[in-house]
Amino acid sequence: MLKKAILNWRDMMILVHAVKAAEEVKPSQQAKREVFRRYGVLGSDRDPLLTSIFYRVMMRQGILDRMIKEATGVNNVLLLDAWLRSALRLFMEIEVFSRRWVSFNDPYQVRRRVSAFLSRRAHPYAGMWFYDVSWGLRKYRPRPKGWEEELELKYLLPSWYVKRITGLIGREEAEKYFEALNRRPKLSVRVTHKGTVDEVLRELRESGVKDIEISGIVPGVLRFSGPFDFDSSKTFLEGKFIIQEESAALAAVLLDPKPGEFVVDLAAAPGGKTELLGELMKGEGVIHAYDIDRRRVERMKKLLSRTEIENVVIHVKDGRMAPSELGKGVADRVLVDAPCSSDGTIMKNPDLRWRLMEDEVSKFAQTQYELLKAGLKLLKAGGIMLYSTCSMLKEEDEDVVSRLLSKEGRKVELVELGGPYEPGFLKGTMRAWPHKHPTIGFFYAKFRKVK
């Protein structure tokens, strides 16, 4: 019989803090690491257990919120104090979904301590209310309404997303895709121009990494099972390899910039693709990198410094402004790796699934279209533009491409992509699917400006 893991009140307060921090700091892995480090848990013997529970809450968050609403009568869980909301999510996960393998050493003490913690952090009444309702969570059981909610509960994905993907590829194929989103992915890194594959392989193996795969699609991409301590890796700190998925790196490879060219990256941060563009250009020519997210831009600056890519001019601005700043008909190549729903990365970012909002899809699609129009203005006649997203939603992929071709068909043509992944739903486009390819989901379309 499987021995139950035992949680004490301190474990629960650390987890409440981590779940709350995950609402404010993205990605959630970073939030968890910061909280665990603060409490001395990071790397300790409690780390694996608390990490497992943390990710179970992240993956089931939307379902937990609906259950809390039904169990407590609260109209909108998001209107509760953030500390209280985090505690309820955590207790609902443990009492309903994890009760077979997790229990409290003293249920009364745990509730009293967490209640007192909430009274200090939020409001005295919050702690009192939590203590009362937390006992009732033990009796609650989810009640799906319809097949969408059944799949939502089974695969931990919003019902609207389940419906859209099922309508796109059919239920049988969709369930294979949903299963892939819930598998823990391997870590993926790319060796830069500063290092060699053999050098990085040697360090990984000396660190105890065994199951290393070498990509046959993007040179220098390696995959292996974690965990791996990047902060203590000599070759990583020296910029000899960076964290990057195969499908993400492929976008820069497909654009295929040449040394000496004028290249524009319209949504560049945190800079992995920009860095590879610089490598492919051998440091010759110029890359104008645009992004409005200052925190991600800072990460890009550090990445480019560490990998010694020096031909990048960074603009902390909206990429749609680039034609008015750089001029029209100036660029040899343009990369539009556009902001998107990012649902293709759920396997790497488990809490992202509950930040997906159906009404945001059309807004993303409009921004993507406007970035493509800006890229088209920047291109010289005969210039190449690569459009990519990490979304699997047709509205952000093929539909955006079709719209550009419909509106600007006299100025631009689609360059057919014949691989290495699967054809998209529009002839000439391409998709990487997590259940078919060993990488995150990605979409690609390549354009040439008509002379």
β-pair type (241-243, 187-191):
antiparallel
The torsion angles phi and psi of 182, rounded to 5 degrees, stand at -100, 5
Rounded-to-integer distance, Cα 367 and Cα 216, Å: 33
CB atoms under 10 Å from CB of 227, counted, come to: 11
DSSP class per residue in 49-116: HHHHHHHHHHHTHHHHHHHHHHHH--S-GGGS-HHHHHHHHHHHIIIIISTTTEEES-HHHHHHHHHH
**Residue 433 contacts residue 441 (beta carbons within 8 Å):** yes
Rounded-to-integer distance, Cα 443 and Cα 430, Å: 6
Judged by DSSP in three states, 7 sits in: strand
Torsion of CA 377, 256, 363, 295, to 10 degrees: -100
DSSP3 helix / strand / coil % (the chain, rounded to 5): 50, 15, 35
β-pair type (312-315, 412-415):
unpaired
Rounded-to-integer distance, Cα 5 and Cα 45, Å: 12
CB atoms under 10 Å from CB of 205, counted, come to: 12
Catalytic, 340? Answer no
**Residue 309 contacts residue 281 (beta carbons within 8 Å):** no
Catalytic residue of the set 390, 414, 430, 440:
390
**Residue 369 contacts residue 403 (beta carbons within 8 Å):** yes
Q: Which amino acid is at 29?
A: Q
The torsion angles phi and psi of 64, rounded to 5 degrees, stand at -60, -40
Question: Measuring CA to CA, which residue among 320, 205, 336, 213 is closest to residue 268?
Answer: 336
Rounded-to-integer distance, Cα 203 and Cα 232, Å: 11
Catalytic residue numbers?
390
